[in-house]
């Protein structure tokens, strides 16, 4: 090795290939834009109202009790026990807290660790479009290949209100996406950003495809992202894939306390699956964060017990349904025809009538969302961020608005939207 020639000049840094294709997430970009412009942020999905007192108190108590050191890697004992007790009846089985539950850094790490645990390099991961933006990134970081199946978006017919159930999954198209390299299928229900809740019939049809394929090829595992499981409307039933016949063995179910208790900054999530799969997830998880926040896990355990006693989960859905209807009213009044979500806290609205100067260097929905920020002072998320390059055009005329905000924020946005009726 030759001696260093003075003055030493460090070579330019080249990032690892697995991250070179990644840019900042659409949420980081549009929240920064909202802050920079002082616009109302109906983009990123985080509540801007207070978390429930019982959960905040539980967090403070856990810290005061000095539960401030590392805890068990698979999950703080109190939390895995609370989760097993709470979810057992919902899954129709006795859940072993030590072997069938693992806690994660939000559902986000649940997705990453599950994909790391199941997907081999060269495997294919089927996901529906629109997808939550971390799914393809996680598939790629595991050396897998994302395979996209777009949901069929509904035709708008005058006089008929669209609902999330009008977004359909073409089962033949899904079946055609399976190949000998398929290893995982990701489902998100309730769905971000469509607000669709997959019906029992739809899940049964998906389960049938998975089971038929698994008989003749390498087995396929379903990653079921149920982060919004308690944020559901109009009495539409949340059906869990893991409860369908033969599907427990094929399914990893993910949950998020960020959504359930309105504490997105706590980042406590969990995965529930059969012991062999949980073990594999734990083997990945132990090398990612090793273990997650002890006091916040303790607090979420307390939160589940108190929430059940207080009827909190029913209240959460009702509270959000009123916010959904409030924002829908403002959007419709401003001429933004919207699709009524049955779950999650997002609304997709039609922007096709807005006369926005085109920018050929980016998808139309991105241009429209920037324009809304500048001209109206309200930030929305362009849903093309949830599509592959080939299918981005499918949502050129849509914008995603969130309603996990105070009524005052929604009212202010409603006032600002009025300017749209003058600009259209």
| Residues of this chain that bind ligand GLN (CB under 6 A) | 25, 27, 44-45, 192
Q: Are 84 and 100 in contact (CB under 8 A)?
A: yes
Q: Which is nearer to ligand GLN, 42 or 242 (CB)?
A: 42
Partner in contact with 27, chosen from ligand GLN, ligand PMP, none, beta carbon below 5 to 8 Å by kind: ligand GLN
Choosing among ligand GLN, ligand PMP, none, which partner's interface includes residue 225 (Cβ < 5 to 8 Å by kind)? ligand PMP
Nearer to ligand PMP, 100 or 226 (CB): 226
Identify residues 68-107 at the interface with ligand PMP (CB under 6 A).
Answer: 106-107
Compute the Cα dihedral for 205, 257, 163, 41 and give only its sign.
negative
Residues contacting ligand PMP: total by CB under 6 A: 13
145, interface contact from ligand GLN, ligand PMP, none, CB < 5-8 Å by kind = none
E strands in 51-90:
none
For residue 107, the partner it binds in ligand GLN, ligand PMP, none, with Cβ less than 5 to 8 A by kind, is ligand PMP
The answer to whether 48 touches 409, Cβ cutoff 8 Å, is yes
Residues pairing with 225 in the sheet: 188, 254
Q: How far is the CB of 320 from ligand GLN (least distance, A)?
A: 14
| Contact call for residue 227 and ligand PMP (CB under 6 A) | yes
User: Which residues are CB-neighbours of 128 under 8 A, at least 6 positions away?
Assistant: 148, 149, 150, 151, 169, 186, 187, 188
252: part of which helix (H) or strand (E)?
strand 251-256
Report the distance separating Cα 72 and Cα 291, nearest Å.
Answer: 7
Q: What share of the chain is helix, strand, coil (3-state, %, to 5)?
A: 45, 15, 40
47 part of the interface to ligand PMP, by CB under 6 A: no
Shortest Å distance, C-beta 24 to ligand GLN: 11
**Separation between Cα atoms, residue 121 and residue 124, nearest integer Å:** 9
State the sign of the Cα–Cα–Cα–Cα dihedral 271, 47, 134, 394: positive
**DSSP assignments along 184-222, one per residue:** EEEEESSPTTT-----HHHHHHHHHHHHHHHHHSS--EE
Residue nearest to ligand PMP (CB): 106
Shortest Å, Cβ 227 to ligand GLN: 8
Instruction: Report the C-alpha gap between 326 and 319 in whole angstroms.
Output: 11
Q: Which residue lies nearer to ligand GLN by CB, 289 or 335?
A: 289
Minimum Å gap between C-beta 333 and ligand GLN is: 24
Site for ligand PMP in 191-210 (CB under 6 A): 192
Which is nearest to 342 in space by CA: 205, 204, 161, 170?
Answer: 161
214 is an interface residue for ligand PMP by CB under 6 A:
no
Shortest Cβ 45–ligand GLN spacing (Å)? 3
Q: Which is nearer to ligand GLN, 44 or 116 (CB)?
A: 44
Shortest distance, CB of residue 197 to ligand GLN, whole angstroms? 17
25 binds, among ligand GLN, ligand PMP, none (CB under 5 to 8 A by kind): ligand GLN
Closest CA to 134 of 13, 265, 42, 254: 254
Q: Tell me the C-alpha distance between 389 and 362, whole Å.
A: 11
Name the closest residue to ligand GLN (Cβ).
45
CA dist 65 and 63 (Å) reads 5
Q: Which does 188 bind (CB under 5 to 8 A by kind): ligand GLN, ligand PMP, none?
A: ligand PMP
- Tell me which of ligand GLN, ligand PMP, none is bound by residue 44, counting a contact when its beta carbon lies within the kind-specific cut-off of 5 to 8 angstroms: ligand GLN
State which of residues 47, 144, 269, 295 lies at the interface with ligand PMP (CB under 6 A).
Answer: 269
Q: How far is the CB of 266 from ligand PMP (least distance, A)?
A: 9
- Taking the complex as a whole, how short is the minimal distance between the CB of residue 83 and ligand PMP, in angstroms? 14
The conformational region for residue 165 under phi > 0 = left, psi -120 to 50 = alpha, else beta, is alpha
State the maximum Cα–Cα separation within the chain, in Å, rounded to a whole number.
78
Q: Which of 30, 112, 132, 345 binds ligand PMP (CB under 6 A)?
A: 132
Minimum distance between the CB of residue 339 and ligand PMP, rounded to whole angstroms?
17
Residue 296 CB, nearest distance to ligand GLN (Å)? 18
Both tokens assigned to 54: 């019982």
Query: Would you say 45 or 377 has its CB closer to ligand GLN?
Result: 45
- Residue 52 or 269: the one with the smaller Cβ distance to ligand GLN is 269
Q: By CB under 6 A, is residue 253 in contact with ligand PMP?
A: no
Pairing of strands 40-41, 378-379: parallel
Which chain residues interact with ligand PMP by CB under 6 A? Answer: 106-108, 132, 188, 192, 225, 227, 256, 258, 264, 267, 269
């Amino acid at each position: 090795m030759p001696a260093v020639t003075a003055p030493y000049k460090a070579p330019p840094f080249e990032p690892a290939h697995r991250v070179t294709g990644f840019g900042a997430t659409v949420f980081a970009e549009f929240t920064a834009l909202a802050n920079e412009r002082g616009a109302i942020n109906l983009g990123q999905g985080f509540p801007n109202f207070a978390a429930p007192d019982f959960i905040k108190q539980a967090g403070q108590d856990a810290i005061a009790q000095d539960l401030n050191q590392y805890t068990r890697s698979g999950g703080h004992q109190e939390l895995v026990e609370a989760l097993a007790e709470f979810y057992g009846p919902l899954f129709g089985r006795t859940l072993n807290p030590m072997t069938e539950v693992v806690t994660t850094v939000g559902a986000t790490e649940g997705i990453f660790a599950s994909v790391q645990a199941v997907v081999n390099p060269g495997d294919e991961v089927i996901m529906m479009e629109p997808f939550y933006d971390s799914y393809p990134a996680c598939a790629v970081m595991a050396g897998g290949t994302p395979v996209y199946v777009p949901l069929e978006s509904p035709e708008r017919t005058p006089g008929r209100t669209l609902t999330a159930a009008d977004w359909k999954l073409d089962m033949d198209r899904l079946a055609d996406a399976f190949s000998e390299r398929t290893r995982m299928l990701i489902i998100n229900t309730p769905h971000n950003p469509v607000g669709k809740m997959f019906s029992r019939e739809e899940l049964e049809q998906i389960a049938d495809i998975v089971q038929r394929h698994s008989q003749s090829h390498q087995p396929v595992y379903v990653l079921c992202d149920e982060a919004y499981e308690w944020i559901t409307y109009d009495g539409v039933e949340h059906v869990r894939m893991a409860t369908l016949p033969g599907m427990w063995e094929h399914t990893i179910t993910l949950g998020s306390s960020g959504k359930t208790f309105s504490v997105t900054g706590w980042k406590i999530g969990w995965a529930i699956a059969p012991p062999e799969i949980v073990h594999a997830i734990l083997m990945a998880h132990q090398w990612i964060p090793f273990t997650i926040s002890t006091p916040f896990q303790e607090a979420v355990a307390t939160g589940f017990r108190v929430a059940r006693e207080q009827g909190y989960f029913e209240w959460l859905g009702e509270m959000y349904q009123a916010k959904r209807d409030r924002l829908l009213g403002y959007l419709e009044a401003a001429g933004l025809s919207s699709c009524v979500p049955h779950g999650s806290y997002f609304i997709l609205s039609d922007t096709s009538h807005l006369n926005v100067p085109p920018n050929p260097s980016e998808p139309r929905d991105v241009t429209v969302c920037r324009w809304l920020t500048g001209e109206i002072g309200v930030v929305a998320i362009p849903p093309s961020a949830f599509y592959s390059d080939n299918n981005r055009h499918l949502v050129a005329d849509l914008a995603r608005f969130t309603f996990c905000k105070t009524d005052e924020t929604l009212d202010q946005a409603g006032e600002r939207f009025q300017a749209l009726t003058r600009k259209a």
